[in-house]
Structure 1
Amino acid sequence: MQSILMQDFEELLHSELDLEPFRGKIFFVTGATGLVGSLVLRFLAYANEQLDLDLKLLALVRNKEKAQRLYAKYKTAPLKFVVTELGHSDLHLSEKVDYVIHAAAVTGSKQMIADPVGTIRTALWGTDEVLQEAVRNNAEAMVYLSSMEVYGQPVVTGQTTEKDLGYVDLTNIRSSYPEGKRMSELMCNSYAEQYGLRVMSARLAQVFGAGVLPGENRVFAQFARSAMNGENIVLHTTGQSEGNYVYATDAIKAILILLQKGETRQAYNVANEDSHMTIKAMAEMVMDNFGISGAQVVIDIPKENMGYAPDVKMWLSSQKLQQLGWRPTVNLKDSYARLIQWLQEKK
């Protein structure tokens, strides 16, 4: 039986995404052992095998052994590891690249508050290194993976568009992440203006689904595992923050469409507008649909600082991206169904 991830990839092959313009191209993807970066590379390897696209894939990793384990099933793929750590000015690609996807970033909330300086340096210096390589290679296009956290606390009452930047508290050390993303977007736009690089920013909602990596412990994975194990879902906040989500392969599709059709110096929200609810409501939805009788949602707020983002009321609009022809296809309930199937396959 075909795995749920391969089913996702097969659906993506038959979606509105046109892969023919990528034939014979070389992709450079940073953050290749992270969730989004690895899914982009795994899909491109699958598409290359199915459609004989003659792609070459360069994957930037810090730990080659970890990368080899992750990509063990893709040994015949045209995949080459670039082993380095961004932010140390030693990135130099040995071959020309056509497309760049910059997915590397600090993503753990505890790390953001334990090492805010490192979080900022990785964002700024790492992005600068990648941009330099994109310019040196005269890349056709680059997509920077930003975040919905750049909006901070939006001031709009309706849907949040790409122009609705809100307030970020610079006294909060956790702001090292959203402010680093904001500045990195500006750096991308500055390279576009000064050097003529075609670069876009993808402001991702929370991405999850089949293909999540071993050890994933973000809230969506915690909810799914609790339901699978017949346990209570435990919230460490009151759960009033509004979540915005997008299924993993819908996010991959968006990134690849942006490489083809995105307008330089522009940001695009990548979110399924229908997958929007408070964290508490999402926990209850997971429990109702995938939990066992008797289990419930429990609120247990720890005394220690867990590094969670501040509560936010925000509903992302994806209309700008949809104008390029992108359509999300997997709703929140089905996202969890596919995620749980993937986790069960990996047991």
Structure 2
Amino acid sequence: MSTLATGRPNIIITGGAGFLGSNLAGDMVKTSNIICIDNFITGNQKNIDILLQNPYFEFLRHDITRPLDFDQFPELKKFQIKAQGIQSIYNFACPTSPSNHAKLALEILEANSSGTKNMLDLAKEYHAVFVHISSQHIYGKAMSSQPIKESYLGAVDPIGPRSAYDEGKRFAETIASYYKRQFNLNVKIARLFTCYGPKMAINDGRSIPDFIFDALNNKDLIIYGDEKTENTFCYVADIVDALIKIEKSSLAGAVNIGHYEKYTLKNIAERIIKLCESSSVITYKEPDWHVASYNIPDISLAKEELGWFPMVDIEDGLLRTIEYMRSNLRIYQI
């Protein structure tokens, strides 16, 4: 086991048992040693069960709001961290489900503040690339229907019921940018727009997994809005591809990652009902407080600097997601 780590970079993924983190880990473990960190506040061990059997993957149950001491985890000896160091840190750790924005507000704020700082300090110690996973919600409500560029400063409510998430993500970008300027740390910020795919929690307040869950159970699909309410949806494999490209790039600053094509939620719901062969019907309700306004990303920078472009079309992505969620319905129902 002492030679296991040879030739492979050591990669930390915080929030690694969540939807996005576990998908990234599953891809990167093919070529890297993965140190997955999660405290299971919202992460799901089922997302990483198959990875736990891989000798190049180790899971640490740890809260990143506390400093991380590798000596407390003897299972990491095989990765030879003292000799090889840490090459990259992907910082996902933060509850993201809209249904948790009020319930876990303090945990969200702590993850984005002290948690992000602890991981930045670790990146500073090991001269690691730090990829911070941010969100479209740092922009708040768009002032126009035009795609949003990275230069838009945003319009966020600092005291609203979902402010812990929106402002927390803004603060995390601020502290990461400070470390870049003050310590010349190699920091990159990925502003993710709406994404979906396998391992996404079912029935958690986001449209596609909620639609699929209800369609598989022949229940009404509820749209919080009207027939014209629309959004963009980027499949998780495209997100993973973008994040890996960001880590390897010379990009400085933040970059939008998402799909450029808009769909009405009515169109998405109809597609899901058809693909699930469901008897569900679509109903409409006034948006709850946790339903954010969704923006359309301008992904010109990602195309130019990363050579990245979303490749999975909506029909294929929905079909893959439905097949996965159908086979794991009992496991992922919450």
Length-normalised TM-score, structure 2 = 0.84
Structure 1's unaligned 5+ residue stretches are 1-21
Q: CA deviation at 1:315?
A: 1.5
Deviation (angstroms), 1:233: 0.9
Structure 1 match to 2:75: none
Q: Distance in 1 between matches of 2:166 and 2:229?
A: 16
Residue 317 of structure 2 aligns to a residue in which SS? helix
Matches of residues 107-186 of structure 1 in structure 2 within 5 Å?
107-139=96-128, 141-186=129-174
**Aligned mates of 2:301, 2:182 — CA distance in 1:** 25
Alignment of 1:283 onto 2:269:
yes
Q: CA 1:149 to 1:63, structure 2 compared with 1: closer, same or farther past 3 Å?
A: closer
1:271 maps to what in 2? 258
Distance 1:281 1:165, change over 3 A: farther
Counterpart residue number, 1:79: 57
Q: Does 1:319 align with 2:300?
A: yes
| Counterpart-to-counterpart distance in 2, 1:70 and 1:80 | 14
2:86 alignment partner, one of 80, 97, 101 = 97
1:246-295 deviation digits (Å, cap 9, x = unpaired): 1001000000000001413x111111112x23434432443355454x63
Change (3 A) 1:213 1:297: closer
- For the aligned residues, what is the CA RMSD? 2.5
What code does the residue aligned with 1:29 have? I
Q: Which moved more, 1:221-230 or 1:194-203?
A: 221-230
Whether the 8 Å contact between 2:148 and 2:296 is mirrored in structure 1 is yes
The number of residue pairs the alignment matches comes to 309
Match of 1:299 among 275, 281, 284: 284
Residue 62 (str. 1) matches residue 39 (str. 2): yes
What's the offset of the Cα at 1:240?
5.4
Q: CA deviation at 1:24?
A: 1.7
**Could you say if the C-alpha distance between residues 117 and 23 of structure 1 is closer, same or farther in structure 2, counting changes exceeding 3 Å?**
same
Kindly provide the CA deviation profile for residues 18-68 of structure 1, in whole angstroms up to 9, marking residues without a partner as x. Answer: xxxx962110000011100111111122xx2xxxx4x2111112149x876
TM-score (ref. length: structure 1): 0.81
Equivalent residues in 2 for 1:144-293 (5 A)? 144-213=132-201, 218-238=206-226, 241-264=229-252, 266-274=253-261, 276-287=262-273, 290-292=276-278
Q: Where does the alignment leave 5 or more consecutive residues of structure 2 unmatched?
A: 1-5, 72-80, 330-334
Letter in 2 for 1:212: M
Tell me the secondary structure at the aligned position of residue 273 of structure 1.
coil
Matched residues in 1 for 2:50 and 2:144: separation?
46
Deviation at 1:318, TM superposition (A): 1.2
Distance (whole Å) between structure 1 residues aligned to residue 9 and residue 280 of structure 2? 50
Name the amino acid aligned to 1:332: I
Report the CA distance between 1:156 and its aligned residue. 3.9
SS at match of 1:299: strand
Letter in 2 for 1:283: A
The DSSP-based 3-state class of the residue aligned with 1:114 is coil
* CA spacing shift, 1:173–1:212, aligned 2, 3 Å: closer
When residues 218 and 250 of structure 1 are mapped into structure 2, their CA distance, relative to the original with a 3 A threshold, is same
* 1:343 alignment partner AA: M
- SS of 1:223's equivalent in the other structure is helix
State yes or no: 1:39 paired with 2:27.
no
